[in-house]
Amino acid sequence: MDGKLYQHYLQVYVKEAIDNSDGTNVSISRYLWGIRVGGRFARHKVEKGRALEEARRVFDQNRHWPLSIVLSHLGLEPEAFGVKR
């Protein structure tokens, strides 16, 4: 697995979820569960799948944490998503 691709897809999925939700951890989690990784011939399927699984797991388990803490826990910079620490 390529760590840079994993980190890239993690950031893409979380950004998409934040942009298409009301910004709460619960709605972000719901959006993440609606995303499907491509079919049989999708590129970087392993990295995409693991990034999506990790994002889902962290948002599900930490629904009571502030969004900035959840993003930091994922290894993402909250400021990149417009979230203050």
Q: Does the pLDDT at position 1 exceed 80?
A: no
The reported pLDDT for the residue numbered 56 is 96
Residue listed under structure tokens 């993690």: 10
Handedness of CA 5, 73, 53, 81 (dihedral sign): negative
The answer to whether residues 76 and 11 touch, using CB atoms and an 8 Å cutoff, is yes
pLDDT digits (tens, 9 = 90+) for 8-44: 999 999 999 999 999 899 999 999 999 988 777 878 8
The string of pLDDT tens digits covering residues 30-82 is: 999 999 887 778 788 888 999 999 999 999 999 899 999 999 999 999 988 88
Where do we find the tokens 């400021």?
79
